[in-house]
Amino acid sequence: MSSGGLVLHGRDWLQGRPFLLMGIVNVTPDSFSDGGRFLDPSAAVAHGLSLAAEGADLLDLGAESSRPGSDPVPEEEELRRLLPVVRGLRQALPEVPLSVDTTKAAVAEAALDAGADMVNDISAGTFDPAMIPLCARRGVPLVLMHMRGRPKTMQEAPRYTDAVAEVREELEARTRAAEAAGLGPGTLVLDPGIGFGKRPADNLALLRDLPALASLGYPLLVGASRKSLVGALTGAPVDGRLPGSLAFHVAALLGGARIFRVHDVAAHRQALLCAAALLPFRAAP
C-alpha cells in the first residue's frame, strides 16, 4: 500500500526492507525522556554511535524539544547545539543517513550544509514557509508530521470529530503543497504525529487505522517511543515505557508503517524483525 520509498545517498533505503529504525539523538536540556543527557556534543555523538551500533538505519538529530508545554528555542541556540553533532556524526558515520528534526528552514539548511541528509519537520512545513522549498531545491527527503497547534499549547484542548479522517485530510493538504514544490516519491514521508495535539483516544484511533494514512501513497513514519500514551494506558513512568512502545510499533508495522523513530534501537530491532517475519509479500531484511 505504501509506496514512494526513501531515497538517500542515491538509493531507496526501503527497497527490500520491511522497516527502518530511526534512532533519536536529542541535543536538548529538556526533552521529555532524555533531556540533558546528550546536551554536550561529544555525549550526543557517542550516543549516535551507540544507536548505530545497535542497528539504527538512520539517526534523527534534534536540538529543540517539542514536548507538550515546551517553549521554542531561538535559531542561534538551536544551531549552536546541533551543528557540532551533525559534523561529528557525519565524520564518524559517513554511511548512516542523518535526519535533522527542526521546524526552521535556516537550521535545516545549515545542517544540510554540515552533512545532514534529510529533514524531519513536526510542523509539516507550516511553521516556516521556506522549509518545503528548501527541501525541494536541495532534493532531500522531508518528513511531514501532523500536529494541531504548537507544542506550547497543543495538549490544552485537542478536539477532533473523526481524528483519522481529519489527520488524513490535513496530511493530504501538506502532501499536495510539497508535491507542488517538487517533492514526491522518494522524498516524502508522512507521520500521524502521535501525541501532537491529540487525546489518547485520537492517538489510538490513528494507530488502529494506519492503512487509511498509508493509502496517501507515501511511507509512514510512526513515533510512539516512551510517549505519554503508553503512560496513560499503563501508568508506567517515562523510563519504564519500552514494552508499550514495542507493542505500538509492532502493531504499527502490521498496519503499514515503515519507519520507526525510537530511543531503544536494539529492542525495537528484535521485536520488529520478528513481527516483520509475519508480513506477507515483504522481503526479509
The binding site for ligand HH2 (CB under 6 A) comprises 24, 26, 28, 31-33, 62, 65-67, 101, 120, 122, 143, 145, 191, 193-194, 221, 223, 261
To ligand HH2, the closest distance from the beta carbon of 79 in angstroms equals 17
**DSSP secondary structure, 69-122, as one string:** TPPPPPHHHHHHHHHHHHHHHHHH-TTS-EEEE-S-HHHHHHHHHTT--EEEET
Nearer to ligand HH2, 140 or 143 (CB): 143
- Residue closer to ligand HH2 (CB basis): 24 or 276: 24
Read off the amino acid at residue 182: G
Candidates 81, 174, 241, 261; catalytic one: 261
Instruction: Spot the catalytic one: 150, 198, 227, 269.
Output: 227
Helix (H, G, I), strand (E, B) or coil at 172: helix
Q: Residue 77 in contact with residue 52, Cβ under 8 Å?
A: no
We find the least distance from the C-beta atom of residue 81 to ligand HH2, in angstroms, to be 12
**Beta carbon nearer to ligand HH2, 239 or 284:** 239
Report the helix count and the strand count for the chain, using DSSP H and E.
Answer: 10, 10
104 in catalytic set: no
Active site residue 81: no
Beta carbon nearer to ligand HH2, 229 or 276 = 229
Query: Which amino acids are annotated catalytic?
Result: 227, 261
